[in-house]
Structure formats: C-alpha cells, structure tokens
Structure 1
Amino acid sequence: MKIKIERKEKPDKPKKQKKIPTIKVGTHKKLTISLWVLLIGSMSFGIYKNFTAIDMHTVHEKEIIEKQVVDTNSIESFTESFVKEYFSWQQAQDLQDKRNERLKNYLTENLQQLNTEMIRSDIPTSSIVTSFQVWSVKQHNDIEYDVLFSVGQQITEGESKKNLTSTYSITVYVDEVRNMVVIKNPTIDGKPQKASYEPVLSDSDGTVDATATEEINSFLDTFFKLYPTATEKELSYYVSNQALDVINKDYVFVELVNPVYTQVDNQVTVIVTVKYLDKETKVTQFSQFELALQKNENWKIIR
C-alpha cells in the first residue's frame, strides 16, 4: 500500500517595501533658535552702528604762531651807553685806564682782554662820540640780540679835527632778570641804504563829477585853512570818528597840490598834498593826506 504524502507549498512572503527617506522639519529647535537669535542680533547691531556711526575725517591741525612783541628799549639804552664809552678815548694814560675800567661794566672778560690793545699808550688821537643811531635789534635766540647801529665821532689829532660816521654790529646777551653783557665785539657793518622803489601815482578815475569835485575842493580849502590852529570842537564840524588830531601849528595854508578823487558807493577817497608856510621856521611844508569823505548834509572827513 502506497502512502502519498502531499507537500503544501508555502505561500510566498510578501516583499518588504523600501522606506523612503524623509526630512523631519522642526525637530532641531535649539539650532533654529540660535540661528534666529544670530540673525536678529546682526541686524540690530547693524542698525545701531548706522545711527551711532562717527564720521571719520582727517583733521588738519594749523599751527598759529603769534609774534611776540619784544621791548628792546633797554637793549638800545645799554648799547648806547656802551658805544659812548667804547668809541671815546683820550691820550693820557690815566684816562685810558679809567676807560678800561668802565668798559668792564659792558664786556665779557674775554672781550676785555681783547680790547686792551685797542688804544695804544702813544696814540696820537682822541675821540668823542657826537651821534648814535640804532638801525635794528634782531632777536638771535631767546637770550641773544644782534644790534646794528651807527656812531658819529669827532677825531682830534693835534690841531686837526674831523668827523666820522661808521656802522657796526654787536651781540648782547640778556639773562632772565634782564642783566646784559656784550658778547660780540663791535664789528664793521653796513647800514640800510635808500630803496629804489617808486610808488605809482594815482589819478582821478572820473567817478567824481565836476560838480562834486568843485564842492570837495571848496570844502578842503576851508578845512585846511582852519586845521593847523583848530580846536577839538572846531574840528568836530569837519571831522568824524577822530580821523584827524589837533596839531596846534602856526602854519599858513597856501594851496592844495594835485588832489585825486575816487568814489566808491557814497564815499570819496581823497589823496592830496597840502602846501603850508611854517611861520616859525620860515620853510614851505608839504603834508600828504589820504582821506575818506562822505556827504550827508555837508561833506565830512570820516577816515
């Protein structure tokens, strides 16, 4: 007897489907918050900087040097006293010795030694100072001053006398309490000479018509006749702003010489030479004026 065994086939297992990858949104909350905080912070900082920004620009510093007015009167007086001693001498030995002693009040010890040979014991001349003039005092540094001066001398030799004028420079040291000493011996120098400059003469430019010119001429004639002897009250009728001072001179008015008139707006500028006779010295005196005139009711000098 045959036994038949039937095998049942196992049904096929269903195939597993592949999972599709997905991105989860909103799960990293801490990172997202951090990014938002960073973004908001950056924007806030930018806005803050925009409103509080400091303009950067280059600052150019200008150094202003104020000229200090130095009183040189004491230096000039010191120099004059020294020059009168230095350029004066006598032939007698005792007088020369006294001169050398007096020079110690002005010269350094080194210069005293140098100048002992200036006047020989047998010198045939004597000298007196007749004039003195300072041309310039230049501040060499904070404590030294260069002085340029001219000195006039009368030189006597026997019965002969002659006058000389020479120009020298010295250097004077001034300490903190204004004590002074000569530190450079009188050294021959040149005095200022006449400049070759010649100013351009002005001419009337036609801005003042003939009628106004006649009025101004009449006004100036009247004023300059009065001016030499005018009191302050009398001047006030012709002059404003104290443009001219009282002079109290015994002058006789002669004429206006070459008046030049120029008008700008309501003011007339006058350049004029006034010819006077000086009754005290008997010379003819030419005074030159540049004035500004203005007419309200009458003409008046305002500057």
Structure 2
Amino acid sequence: MKLLFSKKEKQAQPKKEKKVKVRTGGKLKKSVLFLWILLISSLAFGIYKNFTAIDQHTIHETKIIEATISDTNAIESFTRNFVKDYYTWENESEVLEERTEKLTVYLTEELQALNADMVREDIPTSSTVQNINIWSLKEEKENTFSVVYSVQQKITEEEDSTLTSSTYRIVLYQDEQENLVIIQNPTIWDQPEKSDFTPKQVENNGTAESETVEEVTLFLESFFASYPTATGQELAYYVKNNALPVIKKDYTFSGFINPVFQGKENQIMVWLTVKYLDEETKAIQLSQYELILEKDTNWMIVE
C-alpha cells in the first residue's frame, strides 16, 4: 500500500516545462541609435567650431590692419624729416655741426656714433634734398617698423651739379607714447619697378540695345559738357548717391574715346575715356570712368 501511494505521487507530479529563449533586441537597437546620435552631434559641433574659428580669425586680421593704418602718418612724417636732415650738408664746419645736432633727434646714441664720420669736415661736396618717396611701411614685430624710401639729391662740387637718386631701408621703434627712434641705419635697398600686369580689356558684348546706347551716349555728352563747372545742386540732375564729386575746373569737353556699353537687367554699365582741353594749361586732359546708369524718368549715374 505504501508502494502504491509513492508511485501515484510520482505520477501526479507535473512535467517541467522547457524554457524558451527570449532575444532582447530592444536594448541593442537603443544602443545603436544612441551611438548614431552621438556621432551626428560630434560632426555638427566640429563643423560649427570650424566656421567659428574662421570668423574669429578674420576679425583679428581686420583689427591688425586698422592698427597699422593709424600709425602710418606719424612714421611717414618722422621719416621724411629725417631724410631731409640726413642727406643735406655743406662743406662748412658750422653747417656740419648743425647737421650732427639735428640727427640726435632721430638716431639712437649708437647710430649717432656710427654716423659721426659720414660727412667729413673736408668733404668737397654739398647736398640738398630734391625729392623723397616712401615706398613701403611694414610692422616687422610689435612696435618695430621698417620703411623703404628713395631720396633724390642735388650734389654740388665747385661749379658742377648733378642729380642722384638712391633707395634705402631704415627700422624704427615706436614706444607706448608713440615716440619714435631709428634703430637701424639707412641700408641700401631696392625700390618697386613697373609691373608687367595688363588688365583685361572690356568689350561691347551686344547686351545693350542700339537704341539704349544712343540714348545713354546723348545723356553722357550733355553731362560731361557741363560737369567740370557744375555745382552740387546742378550735379544732382545727373548723379545719385554722390557717385561723382564736384570738381570746379575750367575744362572744355572734346568727346569720348572708345566707349564700351553693356546691359544688365535695368542698368547700363559704361567704360569710357573723356577728352577735355584744360584751358589753364592748354594741355589735353584724359579722364577714365567706369559708370553704372539707371533710367527712371530720365537716365541717372548711380555708381
């Protein structure tokens, strides 16, 4: 009886169910999505930083250019005064002493000593400055500037006089109070020469109708005939936005040379040389213009 009960009890036990494997794909998809969002965000941030860096760099360069321009007048004036005193002398001891004293205003003590024997007391020539040209002014480093200039001198020896021209470079230092001193002696240099650049010639391209060209030509002939003596009020009938200045000169209009017309939307672009006779000098004056005209009730020069 006991055995029977145990057998039945065993038979009554339910069978164990097999576990079904469940794939957890949701978490993997969320991880991949998160990585894609992170990648796109990093890329967008990198592009933003790149454009921001370019903008900041551009602003920085603009500030440097403005600072250089503000210093130009003082340095140029200082240089011109120096050149005039440095290259002027006479073969007289008093004049040479005055020259030496003047140079103390421009040169460091070291350079004053270096230049002590430049013009000797027994020098047979005298020199006067005829012309000064400043070719370049550059900021070499903070508060230090280089200037390239040429000077034309009239050299006189006994009864003979000649003109000579040379180019030099000096270096100056400017302190916080904008005071200047030359720290490098005039050194032989080269001056700019003529460039071989030739601008592209503009030609008529058929974009301006012949009737329009005739109208504009008549308008410009009328304008340039009265332009030299026109007042600001009279100029307003022909010109907008102060595109051309009042000149008040005694010129007589003589015609155009090689006018070129091109049309663009409601505007006409004109390239031309205007021929005038200068009544004061009796010479021919040739002025070149690039103009943009528009027509409202009548033609007007807008640029």
Smaller-chain TM-score bracket: 0.7 to 0.9
Give structure 1 stretches of 5+ with no counterpart. Answer: 1-11, 25-38
Alignment map for 1:1-303 (pairs within 5 Å): 14=3, 17=6, 20=10, 55-57=41-43, 58=46, 59-60=49-50, 61-62=53-54, 63-64=57-58, 65-67=60-62, 68-69=65-66, 70=68, 71=70, 72-303=72-303
Structure 1 residue runs of 4+, over 4 Å off? 12-16, 18-24
Query: How big is each residue's C-alpha offset from its partner over 1:185-219, in whole Å with a ceiling of 9 and x where there is no partner?
Result: 01111111111112222111111222212111111
- CA–CA distance in structure 2, aligned partners of residues 73 and 301 of structure 1: 35
Matching residue's letter, 1:86: Y
Give the Å deviation of 1:223: 0.7
- CA–CA distance in structure 2, aligned partners of residues 14 and 240 of structure 1: 123
SS at match of 2:152: strand
Matching residue's letter, 1:223: F
Q: How many aligned positions are there?
A: 272
Query: How big is each residue's C-alpha offset from its partner over 1:240-271, in whole Å with a ceiling of 9 and x where there is no partner?
Result: 22211111111000001111000011100000
Give structure 2 stretches of 5+ with no counterpart. Answer: 17-23
Query: How big is each residue's C-alpha offset from its partner over 1:116-162, in whole Å with a ceiling of 9 and x where there is no partner?
Result: 12112211111111211211111111111110111111111111111
Rg: which structure is higher?
1
Matching residue's letter, 2:167: T
Instruction: Tell me which moved more, 267-276 or 208-217.
Output: 208-217
**Normalized against structure 2, the TM-score is what?**
0.82
Give the Å deviation of 1:302: 1.2
Instruction: Tell me which moved more, 137-146 or 93-102.
Output: 93-102
CA 1:116–1:294: 2 relative to 1, 3 Å: same
- Partner of 2:21 in structure 1? none
CA 1:13–1:271: 2 relative to 1, 3 Å: closer
SS at match of 1:66: helix
Percent sequence identity over aligned pairs: 43
Matching residue's letter, 1:203: E
Query: How big is each residue's C-alpha offset from its partner over 1:38-71, in whole Å with a ceiling of 9 and x where there is no partner?
Result: x9xx99xx79x97xx8733323233333333222
- CA–CA distance in structure 2, aligned partners of residues 119 and 236 of structure 1: 60
- CA–CA distance in structure 2, aligned partners of residues 150 and 14 of structure 1: 131
Matching residue's letter, 1:182: I
**Normalized against structure 1, the TM-score is what?**
0.82
Matching residue's letter, 1:98: E
Give the Å deviation of 1:22: 6.9
SS at match of 1:56: helix
Matching residue's letter, 2:253: F
- CA–CA distance in structure 2, aligned partners of residues 197 and 91 of structure 1: 46
- CA–CA distance in structure 2, aligned partners of residues 285 and 162 of structure 1: 33
